[in-house]
Structure 1
Amino acid sequence: MANAEAKDRKILVAVDEGEESMYALSWALTNIISKNSKVILLYAKPSRVIYPTVEGTGYLFSSNIIATMDKYGNDVADCVMEKAKKLCKEFEHVKVEAKVEMGDPRDAICDSVEKIEPNILVMGTHGYGIIKRTFLGSVSNHCAQRVKCPVLIVKRPKPATEK
């Protein structure tokens, strides 16, 4: 049974623009991913915020600006995924799948875990202090409390100059 589990092991790795998520992916590739693992890279693309006018008859942004914002969001998602895939290419034995979901990262990650049913969720952490975490929230903490699979939160070591 253990061999069958290893053969079908799915590892969901949440990635974003930060170095913390790329460090978590690199760490996972080096330390927990075997040749029978499938890595699913997940990027949560924030939903576009549209501001209606006061009268409610239109939008604050023109369609050109909205199209530009959409293109920028797609370019960021593509860039993050290319960087993550490039890291994975160093590990020839790893099967990689990439997914981009729309919405708040907390919800998108939790929803994806429910759909994909991975063996483990790997996430980086920004390492915010208690005050920043209170105001900004912690995506990794939110997900760790809500998903039904093990969660590995990988903290990037601080450079020697910051210690």
Structure 2
Amino acid sequence: MAETVARERKILVAVDESEESLYALSWCLENVVSENSKDTLVLLYAKPLRSAYTALDGTGYLFSSDIVATMERHNNEMADRVMARAKKICHDFGEVAVETRVENGDARDIICSVAQKLVPDVLVMGSHGYGLIKRAFLGSVSYHCAQNVKCPVLVVKRPKTSRNN
């Protein structure tokens, strides 16, 4: 029998602080990545942009630079925690090549932009499983990306039984 040569694939996985995105990463590792493959997982985290934070009293005063620095530090620490958890999941899976990217901006725009630049074989995303009303108000990042990227998009929804774990 002829040996099959593993094809190199680039798999873009959008991760955030939600259990849904980490479930999608685990599912991807178990069902998409093959053991003898030359797959590279690119873990992508979209860090929210620091916008002009205004005071809640309506006077239009900006927050002090100390508060803005604290918010920025929190965003950086969140990105570090998310990436550490995602890399641990990959490490526990076994030998798989992993690259990480942290980008600043709205998740929809960042994921679509990175997918356009990297041209991955597939984009893997988790689904929060919002109902119709919540999705109408909050929007759906996965739906937006599925409509706007040029590569195949795999949206992984966590089973209801594992949502309470």
What are the ranges of 5 or more consecutive residues in structure 2 without an aligned counterpart?
none
Distance in 1 (CA, whole Å) between partners of 2:44 and 2:31 is 19
Q: CA deviation at 1:90?
A: 1.6
Cα root mean square deviation, aligned: 2.1
Tell me the equivalent position of 2:48: 46
- TM-score, normalization: structure 1? 0.89
User: 1:143–1:98: structure 2 CA closer, same or farther, 3 Å change rule?
Assistant: same
Tell me the equivalent position of 1:105: 107
Q: State percent identity of aligned pairs.
A: 60
Tell me the equivalent position of 2:144: 142
What are the ranges of 5 or more consecutive residues in structure 1 without an aligned counterpart?
none
Distance in 2 (CA, whole Å) between partners of 1:44 and 1:38 is 19
User: 1:161–1:76: structure 2 CA closer, same or farther, 3 Å change rule?
Assistant: closer
Match of 2:117 among 81, 98, 115: 115
SS in 2 for 1:47: coil
Match of 1:74 among 56, 59, 76: 76
Post-superposition CA distance 1:35-77 (Å, at most 9, x none):
3100000000010121468898xx5111111111110000000
Post-superposition CA distance 1:84-112 (Å, at most 9, x none):
00000023320000000110000000000
- TM-score, normalization: structure 2? 0.88
Distance in 1 (CA, whole Å) between partners of 2:44 and 2:162 is 30
Aligned length: 157
Distance in 1 (CA, whole Å) between partners of 2:47 and 2:138 is 17
Q: Which amino acid aligns with 2:133?
A: I
SS in 1 for 2:156: strand
Q: Which amino acid aligns with 2:155?
A: I
Give the 5 Å matches for 1:123-138.
Answer: 123-138=125-140
User: 1:55–1:157: structure 2 CA closer, same or farther, 3 Å change rule?
Assistant: closer
User: 1:31–1:8: structure 2 CA closer, same or farther, 3 Å change rule?
Assistant: same
Distance in 2 (CA, whole Å) between partners of 1:29 and 1:83 is 14
